[in-house]
Amino acid sequence: MFVRRRAVDSRLKYWTLSAALLLVACIQTSSGLPKPAVDEQDNQNSYVISETVNLVELPVTVRDSKGQFVSGLEQPNFQVYEKGLMQDITLFRNEDVPVTAGLVVDHSGSMGNKRDEVMQGARAFVQASNPQDRDFVVNFSDTVTFGLPSDIPFTSNTEDLQAALLATPLSGKTALYDAVAAALERLQKDKRDKKVLLLISDGGDNASRHNFSEVLRMAQAANVVIYTVGLFDENAADQNPKVLKKFAADTGAQVYFPMSPTEVVSVCKEIAADIRHQYTLGYSPPNPEGGGYRPVRVKVNAPSRGKLSVRTRAGYFLPSKTTAQSGAPQG
């Protein structure tokens, strides 16, 4: 995993909107299909993800010793373990499949405007993206709203995505967990198997009804990969990079801490490439009646390809009737 270190600089407070605009513009490769809109949610129960897991799907990224993506592997090259026991792989995909992507953007802090970097990053990502992807925007401060018009749940239009991001004023507290929950609800209404979120925030939360563990379990149950981009203001008291790190690590994604506004361009390209270079492995969960968290490990065996590293989510949550009690990681 390649994690970019955070540079603490007062200029960082001007980067957040730039990075957000950059990523929202760059995920503009979908074919918006008409579906019922999801308005801002008023009932916590509306965020419930399906409690039935018939197939565990794992997004798997393989890199070589130089950090390059490794393609061309086949099913026999992989072994999947749940709780230390090898599982029979019943689903294997190694092709670039379209994704449904949600951009979840923090609007609670002081934000600047770097439109040149935004458009450069947008063009770079478009060149690296699957043209059949479809996308949406969730904006949050102390409230959560969907940026696109109610009759457009997804879009591939850059201008529409950019307008969606700017639809929310910059003010209020931070309801990060509620925003991720709302995005997961929107993804649940899409029938595509491969779904991702891009969360742009400093990781702080001081206004949500949901807690961290609850939302993480929702993502794990729904097989959603959450890429996170951390942008920080040295004067912000509530920032929490550990939240961003754990969302990414536990769902099989990566966290990025850009060191400059221009570095967000390379971040955009790397996220696009990572999404497009994943294998998908699937298996039927043993003892599907038993709920709870189940750790997962994937090994890759391809001696002729040299030393390889593999990344996937750390496990999945098979929902039960119990409710999560723990909160966010601190620090």
Q: Where are the domains of the chain?
A: 10-49+95-276, 56-91+280-318
Q: Which of 59-73, 90-104, 307-321 has the highest mean pLDDT?
A: 59-73
Q: Is 305 exposed, middle or buried (0-12, 13-18, 19+ CB in 10 A)?
A: middle
Higher pLDDT, 327 or 126: 327
DSSP bridge pairs for 169: none
Q: What's the CA gap between 137 and 108, in Å, rounded?
A: 16
Indicate the range of 8-12, 86-90, 301-305 predicted with least confidence.
8-12
Per-residue confidence (pLDDT) for residue 264, from 0 to 100: 77
**Superfamily designation of domain 10-49+95-276:** von Willebrand factor, type A domain (3.40.50.410)
Say whether pLDDT at 321 is over 70: no
Cα torsion at 70, 71, 77, 79 (round to 10°)? 70
Please say if the pLDDT value at position 50 is more than 90. no
- So what's the pLDDT on residue 29? 37
Q: What is the pLDDT of residues 201-258, one digit of tens each?
A: 889 898 899 999 999 989 988 889 999 988 777 766 778 999 999 999 999 999 998 8
Confidence of residue 125 (pLDDT cuts 50, 70, 90): low
Mean of pLDDT over the chain: 77
Model confidence over 307-319: pLDDT tens digits? Answer: 999 999 999 888 6
pLDDT band at 133 (very low <50, low <70, confident <90, very high): confident
Segment among 3-12, 242-251, 270-279, 314-323 with least mean pLDDT = 3-12
Confidence of residue 170 (pLDDT cuts 50, 70, 90): low
Of 31-40, 56-65, 99-108, 157-166, which range is least confident? 31-40
**268 pLDDT above the threshold of 90:** no
Q: Are 73 and 300 in contact (CB under 8 A)?
A: yes
pLDDT value, residue 155: 76
pTM of the model: 0.78
Q: What angle do CA 90, 92, 93 make, to 5 degrees?
A: 155
